[in-house]
Homo-oligomer: A and B are copies of this chain.
Amino acid sequence: MSNLFIALTHYPVINKNGDVIASAVTNLDLHDMSRVARTYGIPSFYVVTPLEDQKALVERIVLHWVEGTGARYNPKRREALERIKIKSDLEEVKNHIQSKGGEPPEVVVTSACPEDWNLSFDEFRGMLKNDRPYLLVFGTAWGLPESYMDEADYQLEPLLGVDDYNHLSVRSASAIILDRLLGSDR
């Protein structure tokens, strides 16, 4: 198992106008990101939302695939979705990781913004050879608010394509980032 954990945040995130909002959970985020987590040996994929109805929705989806008819229909989905843990906020996530391994994780936030990052993919790959836990946080909607990112230990280098277009879905971005950090093609 990797010492890298991932979280998908639904609050606080910003909308198109820069306001802080709580976004709705997207079913395919759960499937795609948990399958990536399973592929690369990530122990837990935290789905973060303080909204009770959204937590209940995630729990219903996960239970269907982990214990319900979905688990019998497609056991490979069970292996993926059983990595999902539902938490209210970042503190709960950090406490959960600490309760497993004794140490709190260092928090690395992601952003599509080409400025203000202080951790390259290469540096992060090197750090992951340490024993300590790391938590990589992804935002939904238009991303994590600046105040949230300022409190993190590190901000990861953004993905860049051929020019300044930086509008990947969080599903695509997280898949690419985890392959860059943990993939075998290096």
- A-to-B contact residues, CB < 8 Å: 2, 16, 28, 31-32, 35-36, 38-41, 74, 76-77, 79-80, 121, 159-163, 165-169, 171-173, 175-176, 179-180, 182-185
A172–B169 touching, CB < 8 Å: no
B165–A79 touching, CB < 8 Å: yes
Measured CB to CB, the nearest residue on chain B to A37 is B161
Number of copies: 2
Q: Which residues in B have their C-beta under 8 angstroms from that of A41?
A: 161-163
A41-B161, A41-B162 given as contacts; is B183 within 8 A of A176 (CB)? Answer: yes
A179-B179, A185-B180 given as contacts; is B32 within 8 A of A171 (CB)? Answer: yes
Q: Which residues in B have their C-beta under 8 angstroms from that of A179?
A: 159, 176, 179-180
B121–A168 touching, CB < 8 Å: no
B39–A162 touching, CB < 8 Å: yes
